[in-house]
Chains A and B, each alone.
Chain A
């Protein structure tokens, strides 16, 4: 038998192969659908995109604390950046100290860029994504972290 002359598949084995194939196809599709379930398109949690107002409101060199949103917005000569004020240790709200941030709960200390300089905090304070809404207002998305040093230029 050469490759040019493959063995004829008889009707019965073709049908059984086809039914087996469609069974596994259906199983695979159902499994894929089920695996998608733990990852919903939207979550019912509160909105963590905060509109903070027009950029002109914040002068260069300023820092503004937003207590309700738990973040501090800075503006320097390179642009805007926002640092979360939720301690990475157990979630207390950190206070602004002379050289950075200090957590009142367990004494974690961070420098003014959010890096840990003491205490039990395992990670630096996250920098949050800053962007602008369609109407020009600054928007901080507290769900998206950006690398330290990222600035948003207006």
Chain B
């Protein structure tokens, strides 16, 4: 103990021994105790227990503890899942624990692992040799392992969902129905058909986790969990989302999430596609027109509701017009409705639905107009005014009676935008006069010429109409504003 350096030499010895011990331990762990080797030794024991006949003994004799993989260059898959899941094609392994168990169903009969691999259906990191890395929900991997019940989303990579037995793909079938029932097409395009408010969903399943906002999501931060959480509460997952809460149960959210994950235009060799998938691709080129009611339910319902009443929309902060209300369909001409549907209302949430925009077929637009006008008088009774209007008096009346809802200069506010070019082109004088006189039942638009107490006389209405038509003549808002200042009568503004 005299030598002061002795303690350092002891420390050096201990540190060296610890390092050497650690390295030896790591070498043993990596070479002899690797997870997959342990699993394969377990499987060998199971094979030994089950080797009661010639076949069993043959399988046992042929079994080697080695890394196994299904490498499918055509699908870009190198799947080592079979290194641990040794018993997936052995029908005797139904009663053993995972990962040794038989693959459920008869799926592997038609989809041998040698030809399809695993990740084309299940996703996940195929080359991984531990379950944590194969699952890949907390590492950087584009498509983490799907939960078993959601795996049916990938069936439609090669199959037409409508031709598969519904009991094989219960969630996907439910998801497709819900997509139509919840009128998702009102805002989202799928296959070129749908509204323009939300993103198109054609390749939703191809999105990786980096394309989705994960900050507000509870782990696991996976694409499937994002879809699931997003259907429960869109605004909670994507801040400022315009999407209304679809009010779905947990199972319905799951079904919709599966349907979204199934939307993936994946590049798969033709030889892998089922014949019905190829037929589906051709059929999509020549769609069968939907009936008017179906079109309304799938593409209008989300915003307009059942269409009898105008709806206050919290997200849009305005009223959505009652397009099936009796006072609209009894005054509006077919051409007016058609123009509004085909061209939409630029500047508002109403998108254009013509064949080159929302993707509705001409027959479908005719059909939906019939549906809107169902029950309306065939020839709307309308009286024309022969009076000449005075736009400057019209302006003062407009400011007093209309601008509160329709906005200054008819720019729109709570109520529709009168200056809208499509409205100005499509609405006839008779239509505007009729609407001002009689109002719109079921909406906030009052009648301005009730027989008992008319607010506006015929001349007033002619003046307002003359003013409204000046809005359509102007190009751009500055011009309208200028015009208003110039033509406003002195002291006209109340």
Contact = CB atoms under 8 A, between A and B. Distances in A.
Interface string B144-172: 00000000000000000000000000000
Nearest to B87: A134
B92 A46 contact: no
B89 A47 contact: no
Interface residues of B, number: 24
Contacts of B66: 41
Given A41-B67, A51-B112, A131-B62, A46 B73 contact: yes
Contacts of A42: 67-69, 80
Contact of B114 (A50, A131, A135): A50
A134 B80 contact: no
A136 B90 CA distance: 9
Interface in B36-75: 55, 58-59, 62, 66-73
A50 B112 CA distance: 9
Contacts of B93: 134
A135 B72 contact: no
Nearest to B78: A44
Given A50-B114, A51-B112, A134 B92 contact: yes
Contact of B90 (A46, A50, A134): A134
A32 B109 CA distance: 43
Contacts of A41: 66-67
A45 B108 CA distance: 22
A101 to B, nearest CB: 25
Contacts of B108: 135
A133 interface: yes
Interface in B376-402: none
Nearest to B83: A42
B27 to A, nearest CB: 9
Interface residues of A, number: 16
B89 A133 contact: yes
A47 B109 CA distance: 17
B51 to A, nearest CB: 12
B457 interface: no
Contact of A47 (B62, B67, B72): B72
Q: Is the interface of B mostly helix, strand, loop or mixed?
A: mixed
A134 B91 CA distance: 7
Nearest to B117: A47
Interface string A22-47: 00000000000000000001111111
A87 to B, nearest CB: 23
A56 to B, nearest CB: 15
B24 to A, nearest CB: 11
Interface string B78-111: 1010000001011111000000000000001100
Nearest to B50: A134
Interface in A112-148: 131-136
Contact of A135 (B68, B78, B89): B89
A132 B62 CA distance: 10
Contacts of B78: 44
Nearest to B91: A135
Contacts of B89: 133-135
Contacts of A49: 114
A28 B325 CA distance: 90
Contacts of A46: 71-73
A51 B108 CA distance: 11
Interface centre among A47, A49, A51, A133 (most CB of B within 10 A): A47
Contacts of A133: 89
Nearest to B59: A134
B80 A47 contact: no
Give the most central of B58, B78, B91, B114: most A CB within 10 Å: B114
A131 B58 contact: yes
Contact of B70 (A47, A50, A131): A47
A82 B91 CA distance: 25
B55 A132 contact: yes
A77 B93 CA distance: 32
Nearest to A22: B20
A44 B92 contact: no
Given A134-B87, A134-B89, A45 B71 contact: yes
A47 to B, nearest CB: 5
B87 A47 contact: no
Given A132-B58, A133-B89, A134-B91, A44 B71 contact: yes
Contacts of B91: 134-135
Interface in A36-69: 41-47, 49-51
A47 B114 CA distance: 6
A46 B78 CA distance: 9
A47 B58 CA distance: 22
Contacts of A136: 55
Contacts of B67: 41-42
Contacts of B69: 42, 47
26 contacts: A41-B66, A42-B67, A42-B68, A42-B69, A42-B80, A44-B71, A45-B71, A46-B73, A47-B70, A47-B71, A47-B72, A47-B114, A49-B114, A51-B114, A131-B58, A132-B55, A132-B58, A133-B89, A134-B89, A134-B91, A134-B92, A134-B93, A135-B89, A135-B91, A135-B108, A135-B109
Given A41-B66, A44-B78, A46-B71, 4 more contacts: A46-B73, A47-B114, A134-B59, A134-B93
Interface of B: 55, 58-59, 62, 66-73, 78, 80, 87, 89-93, 108-109, 112, 114
Closest 7 CB pairs of A and B: A134-B90, A41-B67, A47-B114, A42-B67, A135-B89, A51-B112, A42-B69
